[in-house]
Amino acid sequence: MGTSDEWEDAEARGEALRRKVGAEEEAAGERSPGKAAVINRPQAQDPIDDIEDWDIFAPFTEDELARHRERETLRANTPLVPLPGRGKSQELALKRIKEAYPPELDDHTWPDDNALCASKFRDEWNALWSSYYGHFEDRTVIPCMKFTDEPAPPGTHPCSTIQMFSAKVTGIGGGLQWPLDVFGMVAIRDDVDHRRNIVFDRTRDNCQTLTEKDAYLVLTGPTRAVVLMDHVTIEVKLIVKGNVESEDKILSYLAVEPCTDPTFCSRLLIKLCNPFTQPTAHGLTDYTSMLSTLEFTLGHIVSSVEATIFLQVIDGAWPDGFCGRFVARTASIDQEVVLLHSGDKIVPFADDGNLKLSRCVVSVEYNGKLQVSVKAWKADNNSDEKPEVLVPEETSKVCVEETGVHAPGVAGSSVEEKVVFTPKEAGRSDDTLDIGFCKIKATIAWSLIWRDTVAYLIQL
């Protein structure tokens, strides 16, 4: 917004223009109906060298009115032509959906409103998008690092994205008791390809055990940055494993759309468009469905690029009996993206020294910073209780080095190191995390984000 003086100057110029137009119309004299006074209006082919020569208040000439009416008539008489074989099928599919879900459905028909919305979402998706993108269960095939080594198409620039920081089961019902062995799927769909971008995926024989003290899902995605254009949908189907498959119970069944108001700065999302959702403090939002309440921490990252993170031990070795927690953090939002948290288990490494991270794709504000950090601590094998979150006694790298690789100080001591990166539109950045007993190379692959839906459809 300009200053008050600038605002008054603009009003004065507008008033002068209006007076000029009135004077010219009065000078034109009497004219027959439909015949406009000849006023200085530039034609389409004429360059506008001086904006003051273009009278925005002048009436249309007869030729301009005729061309305008011709365009409007042509637009009104030209029907929209759907793609061959798709328009009719979509119309019939939507008709079937309306017949399948009559208005008189009540709470006794479905366990809860969110479960009903999730079921409707599947049918509506099939009606609208299956002709373009295949099966409802299909996953996005757009990779991360798409423009790390190859040039991005013209016009590609940093864009708005959604970051999922965490997902937690905050309440259970229906006779369920902690701990819970949970499997199933959590995915995010955006308008780039409308397919599932998986953030959590477990089979029945690979459940995650949730406890009342540690009920966070171990997120493994997204596999690429989640683009925020018009709509983003979070899709959830989580199941509690029973003693036999017939005793399995649906823990949460959701298809909800976060409310993303326009913003000029990155921030946490705290509102939702879904009427059955309760906003909570600190950017957390609860979704109650089936037998549980699920809480997400989501962020809207403006003008962002995609960062794919790789960590590799290049000197020394990770000691036996040490746990590790690796996180990323952006300067714009004070929240952690957990890349790997080993808990009381062995930190997983590949043969080449690369850490097997749970998730590696992060959205970063282009004008911001990306911090990658590691915290290592000696596991307390004598403790009967497993710690929920690392809150160890701090110690220095020197202490770890002096006490040796396999005997680093007392149980509960820890060492922490971090590095900070400046985002780029393409290419790679690297730095070293020196934690005493080993050195870890952190490599960031930067990329602009693919968001051209039309170009994507052409490639199919």
Query: Per-residue DSSP letters for 103-116?
Result: TT--TTTSS-HHHH
What is this structure's pTM?
Answer: 0.71
Please indicate, yes or no, if residue 452 is contained in any of the structural domains.
no
Please indicate, yes or no, if residue 149 is contained in any of the structural domains.
no
319 and 433 together in one domain: yes
pLDDT of 48 higher than 50: no
101 and 220 together in one domain: no
40 and 105 together in one domain: no
Percent of the chain with pLDDT over 70: 63
97 and 49 together in one domain: no
User: What mean pLDDT comes out for the span 176-187?
Assistant: 97
Which structure tokens are listed for 118?
């999730």
Query: What does residue 157 show for φ and ψ, rounded to 5 degrees?
Result: -150, 170
CB-CB contact of 2 with 41 (8 Å): no
Amino acid at 4: S
pLDDT of 42 higher than 50: no
User: What mean pLDDT comes out for the span 254-280?
Assistant: 70
Give the pLDDT score at 56: 40
Lowest average pLDDT, out of 22-31, 304-313, 357-366, 431-440, goes to 22-31
Please indicate, yes or no, if residue 225 is contained in any of the structural domains.
yes
Please indicate, yes or no, if residue 324 is contained in any of the structural domains.
yes
pLDDT of 441 higher than 50: yes
- Residue 71 — pLDDT band, cuts 50, 70, 90? low
Please indicate, yes or no, if residue 167 is contained in any of the structural domains.
yes
280 and 176 together in one domain: yes
User: What mean pLDDT comes out for the span 84-91?
Assistant: 49
- Residue 138 — pLDDT band, cuts 50, 70, 90? very high
User: What mean pLDDT comes out for the span 274-286?
Assistant: 52
What's the CA gap between 431 and 289, in Å, rounded?
44
What's the CA gap between 292 and 386, in Å, rounded?
24
User: What mean pLDDT comes out for the span 279-298?
Assistant: 75
User: What mean pLDDT comes out for the span 336-346?
Assistant: 91
pLDDT of 265 higher than 70: yes
CB-CB contact of 338 with 219 (8 Å): yes
What's the CA gap between 85 and 90, in Å, rounded?
9
State the average pLDDT for the chain: 76
Please indicate, yes or no, if residue 257 is contained in any of the structural domains.
yes
Give the pLDDT score at 397: 43
Higher per-residue confidence, 22 vs 398 = 22
Please indicate, yes or no, if residue 151 is contained in any of the structural domains.
no
First to last CA, the chain: 45
127 and 178 together in one domain: no
- Residue 26 — pLDDT band, cuts 50, 70, 90? low
- Residue 368 — pLDDT band, cuts 50, 70, 90? very high
436 and 346 together in one domain: yes
Query: What does residue 370 show for φ and ψ, rounded to 5 degrees?
Result: -120, 125
Which structure tokens are listed for 87?
């328009």
Q: Specify the pairing of strand 208-210 against strand 180-189.
A: antiparallel
- Strand segments, DSSP code E, in 6-89 are none
Higher per-residue confidence, 443 vs 334 = 443
261 and 114 together in one domain: no
434 and 371 together in one domain: yes
Looking at the 3D structure of the chain, how many domains does it have?
3
Give the pLDDT score at 124: 92
Give the pLDDT score at 162: 96
- Residue 406 — pLDDT band, cuts 50, 70, 90? very low
What's the CA gap between 433 and 241, in Å, rounded?
40
Which structure tokens are listed for 403?
């006490």
221 and 101 together in one domain: no
What's the CA gap between 229 and 224, in Å, rounded?
15
Please indicate, yes or no, if residue 456 is contained in any of the structural domains.
no
- Residue 286 — pLDDT band, cuts 50, 70, 90? confident
Closest CA to 168 of 285, 319, 255: 285
93 and 231 together in one domain: no
Look up the domain containing 62 and give its range.
4-76
pLDDT of 448 higher than 90: yes
- Residue 263 — pLDDT band, cuts 50, 70, 90? confident
Closest CA to 151 of 364, 425, 422, 367: 425
Lowest average pLDDT, out of 178-182, 344-348, 385-389, goes to 385-389
249 and 187 together in one domain: yes
DSSP code at position 457: H
- Strand segments, DSSP code E, in 264-423 are 267-268, 277-279, 284-289, 292-316, 322-330, 336-341, 361-365, 370-378, 393-394, 413-421
Which structure tokens are listed for 65?
């009115």
- Residue 113 — pLDDT band, cuts 50, 70, 90? confident
What's the CA gap between 114 and 287, in Å, rounded?
8
What's the CA gap between 314 and 345, in Å, rounded?
22
Burial class of residue 139 in the structure, from the number of CB atoms within 10 Å of its CB (0-12 exposed, 13-18 middle, 19+ buried): middle
Label residues 285-319 b or e (16+ Cβ within 10 Å = b): bbbbbbbbbbbbbbbbbbbbbbbbbebbbeeeebb
